[in-house]
Amino acid sequence: MPEKTIYMDNAASTRLDKRVLDAMVPFFFDTYAVATSEFGYSMGIEAKEMLEEARVKVSKAMKGSPEELIFTSGDTESSNLALKGVAAALGTKKGKHIITSKIEDFPVLNSAKSLEKSGFKLTYLGVNGDGLIDLGELESAITPETILVSIQHANQEIGTVQDIEAIGSICHGKGTLFHTDATHTFTRLPIETDRMPVDLVTISGHTIHGPKGIGGLFVRKGTPLNKWMDGGYQEFNLRAGLENIPGAVGFAKAIELVTSEENERLKGIRDALIERFLKEITRTTLNGHRTKRIPQNANITFHSVEGESITLHMDMRGIEVSTGSACFSRSLEASHVLMGIGGNHERAHGSIRFSLGRFNDISEVDRVVEAMSEVVTRLRAISPLDKREDEA
Amino acid sequence: MRFPYNEKVLEHFKNPRNVGKIENPDGKAIVGSPACGDMVAVFIKVEPTEHRIIDAKFESYGCASNIATGSIITELAKGKTIEEAKLISWQQASEALGGLPKIKGHCSVLAVEGLREAITNYEEKHGLVKNKEPTTAEVIKRRLKNVMNPITGLDIVRGELVKDIRIENGNVDIYVDLPEAHIFAGNIRDEVKERVETLWDVKKVEIHFNDQ
């Protein structure tokens, strides 16, 4: 019997919690109608009520009001709407300058690049070795033409958490809107829109054991934002398209199931992984900040070996992890995040991300560390780099 | 289980043949770099009368297809004369492995280049080079394209570390824009020497750092 699969790629996507599915099922078979107005028919009115109940729950989880929460198809759509929506609303009125960072996830980064092609001026802030932006640099980059700053809450690959309160204060002090991609922090770290200086926040369901295909965008009241997908008048006329009611209900349920105990438990697994890798395997570097870090991420570079070789060997041992190595990606490009913090390919080439979720357990750490140790030893034995460094 | 490669590739990846170094090799080459991702070292032992490859080994800092290609290419090379071995193509290596994904071509072609360069290295060291073009700065620059500055991940030519190359009566002086105390200065010096010294009309190679 092969051993049970250990899945540590939860930042990419998570297994649905069965309780989420149970909450969703009635909206496929019983209350499947479109959400109608209050003058519609029973099933539609009921559907609408359940959608609004989900909206209340999701917005509460970020201490916002329901009118400030737009359901979307996920974090990609949310971030597209935030950047392109603000650009369309303010581009001709206020200015065409947008600031973001070099290590954002693709929805923000590629929305920024696409705006750049249509005439917007973009500033991509660099980060230090831990993955943190420099607040002074941000402040001096803001000009009267700056319409939006988009800096992620935590990084998708290295888990570093930015100081979004300080960033937001700087932005608001200079009269600029602030968007943050909170895909990897929502429910894992507090996001309190009632006291944090944020205007737009991207969140997603599938990273917290919710369904794929549902996400949200917090839009603070009064934030100028243009709709960019044409269709009906759903979601306060900001996001056209049939509402995904089972998704919204599942998203709300998924949020409800995350507890602070769970986050502490994941932190324990994370710290055990980090500590043991750094102690038990030579020539390893932790990627990302040691403490300003989400509970569910450990990212380590194992020097002198290549990541795709590691992930394949790990896969053969029933352990699913990912790497920032170029060889692993569809684009065959090394991770822009690891390049951003390390400045060289070597850092990305041997990087492995272990991202945790509800179904991971501290008892898995032994098997993962032992397998990694064996795989790295094996690959270093055939690496031309290893011996050169040892000789030096 | 659904792995990204066929059984044969996986088998060579799990149990690569001919892994390691050959002590005092008759020919060797290191191709690729940490910058483009993958890197392969190839070592050959050649029987001198017929120039037949009697042993071939490789080392890889690379992905699965890189390792598997290193394994198959050294298998294919053994027993062949250097003229025969030079003709081994990526397609042949890929066929022998039951097919590699096309997108992985660039990682796996490195092992093929590595074997060819190891053969060239053998030919140069043994006076077998037929096409004796005089060594110019351009020839040297081509050679140095594989010498990396591990900090930037760029080769020393593209990274503009090679400030000047002077050639006079077989003596080559290479001026490198790094201080001698730079942590990789020693590595870079050794690698540059190794790659240039074998050229047929080069007698001596000197590396000058910017603080010398």
Token pair of B165 as six digits? 């190359």
- The Cα–Cα gap between A285 and A314 comes to 19
Partner-chain contact B67 A309, CB within 8 Å: yes
State residue B36's pLDDT score. 58
Candidates B197, B183, B104, B114; CA nearest to B149 is B183
A95, A98, A99, A103: CA torsion to nearest 10: -170
Candidates A189, A143, A144; CA nearest to A165 is A189
| Residue A40: count of CB within 10 angstroms of its CB | 15
Token pair of B119 as six digits? 């053969």
CA A146, A148, A149, A150 dihedral sign is: negative
User: What is the three-class DSSP state of A341?
Assistant: helix
User: In this structure, are residues B144 and B188 in contact, taking their beta carbons and an 8 Å threshold?
Assistant: no
Question: Rounded to whole angstroms, what are the CA distances from A297 to A155, A184, A318?
Answer: 10, 9, 19
Partner-chain contact A309 B187, CB within 8 Å: no
Mutation choice for B interface testing from A312, A317, A379 by most B CBs within 10 A: A312
Task: Determine how β-strand A215-219 pairs with β-strand A69-72.
Answer: antiparallel
Nearest CB to A382; choose among B59, B152, B153: B59
State residue A125's pLDDT score. 98
Residue with tokens 């609408």: A48
Partner-chain contact B35 A326, CB within 8 Å: no
Buried b / exposed e over B69-79, threshold 16 CB at 10 Å, is bbbbbbbbbbe
Q: What is the amino acid identity at position A128? A: N
| Residue A192: count of CB within 10 angstroms of its CB | 12
Buried b / exposed e over A157-173, threshold 16 CB at 10 Å, is bbbbbbebeebbebbee
State residue A294's pLDDT score. 98
Query: Which CATH architecture does the domain made up of B137-209 adopt?
Result: 2-Layer Sandwich (3.30)
Question: Rounded to whole angstroms, what are the CA distances from B203 to A337, A359, B15, B28, B197?
Answer: 46, 65, 42, 20, 7
Question: Residue by residue, what is the 3-state secondary structure of A162-175?
Answer: CCHHHHHHHHHHCC
Question: Rounded to whole angstroms, what are the CA distances from B22 to A245, B50, B85, B196?
Answer: 65, 20, 18, 21
- The Cα–Cα gap between A160 and B117 comes to 43
Gyration radius of chain B's alpha carbons? 18
User: In this structure, are residues B200 and B132 in contact, taking their beta carbons and an 8 Å threshold?
Assistant: yes
Alpha-carbon distance B143 to nearest alpha carbon in chain A (angstroms) = 19
10 Å CB burial of residue B197 (0-12, 13-18, 19+) is middle
Query: Which sequence spans correspond to the domains of chain A?
Result: 18-257, 259-391
Task: Determine how β-strand A200-204 pairs with β-strand A177-181.
Answer: parallel
State residue A118's pLDDT score. 95
Give the domain A259-391 fold: Aspartate Aminotransferase, domain 1 (3.90.1150)
Nearest CB to A383; choose among B1, B60, B187: B60
| Residue A22: count of CB within 10 angstroms of its CB | 11
Q: Which helix (H) or strand (E) holds B44?
A: strand B39-47
Alpha-carbon distance A144 to nearest alpha carbon in chain B (angstroms) = 36
User: What is the three-class DSSP state of A97?
Assistant: strand
Q: Which residues of chain A are under the pLDDT cut of 70?
A: 1-2, 330-332, 343, 386-392
State residue A2's pLDDT score. 59
State residue A392's pLDDT score. 39
Chain A residues closer than 8 Å to B36 by CB: 345
Partner-chain contact A315 B3, CB within 8 Å: yes
Q: Which residues of chain B are under the pLDDT cut of 50?
A: none
Q: Tell me the ipTM for this assembly.
A: 0.86
Partner-chain contact B61 A306, CB within 8 Å: yes
State residue A388's pLDDT score. 47
Phi, psi (rounded to 5 degrees) for B205: -125, 130
Question: Rounded to whole angstroms, what are the CA distances from B158 to B39, B146, B163?
Answer: 18, 10, 11
On the CB side of A219, CA atoms within 13 Å amount to: 26
Residue B44 touches partner A, C-beta closer than 8 Å: no
Q: What are the helix (H) ranges across chain A? A: 18-24, 26-29, 42-61, 75-90, 106-117, 135-141, 164-173, 234-237, 245-257, 260-280, 307-316, 336-342, 345-349, 364-381, 384-391
State residue B102's pLDDT score. 80
CATH number of B7-125: 3.30.70.60, 3.90.1010.10, 3.30.70.1230, 3.60.70.12? 3.90.1010.10
DSSP-assigned beta bridge partners for residue A285: A301
Task: Determine how β-strand A6-7 pairs with β-strand A319-320.
Answer: parallel
CA A112, A117, A120, A126 dihedral sign is: positive
10 Å CB burial of residue A136 (0-12, 13-18, 19+) is exposed
Task: Determine how β-strand B154-155 pairs with β-strand B148-149.
Answer: antiparallel
Partner-chain contact A384 B39, CB within 8 Å: yes
Task: Determine how β-strand A69-72 pairs with β-strand B148-149.
Answer: unpaired
Q: pLDDT for A295-310, tens place per residue? A: 999 999 999 999 999 9
Q: A18-257 domain in CATH 3.10.620.30?
A: no
Chain A residues closer than 8 Å to B1 by CB: 315
Chain B residues closer than 8 Å to A311 by CB: none
Nearest CB to A312; choose among B13, B21, B103: B13
Where in chain B are all domains bearing CATH 3.30.300.130? 137-209
- The Cα–Cα gap between B170 and B173 comes to 10
State residue B151's pLDDT score. 65
On the CB side of A168, CA atoms within 13 Å amount to: 21
Token pair of A37 as six digits? 């107005």
DSSP-assigned beta bridge partners for residue A160: A293
State residue B153's pLDDT score. 62
Alpha-carbon distance A345 to nearest alpha carbon in chain B (angstroms) = 5
A-contacting residues of B 114-173, CB under 8 Å? 150-153
Where in chain B are all domains bearing CATH 3.90.1010.10? 7-125
Cβ contacts below 8 Å, chain A against chain B, sum to 88
- The Cα–Cα gap between A384 and A1 comes to 36
Phi, psi (rounded to 5 degrees) for A344: -145, 160
Token pair of B10 as six digits? 């996986």
Question: Rounded to whole angstroms, what are the CA distances from B206 to A334, A355, B134, B176?
Answer: 35, 50, 18, 11
Candidates B184, B177, B186, B162; CA nearest to B212 is B177
Chain A residues closer than 8 Å to B23 by CB: none
Partner-chain contact B153 A345, CB within 8 Å: yes
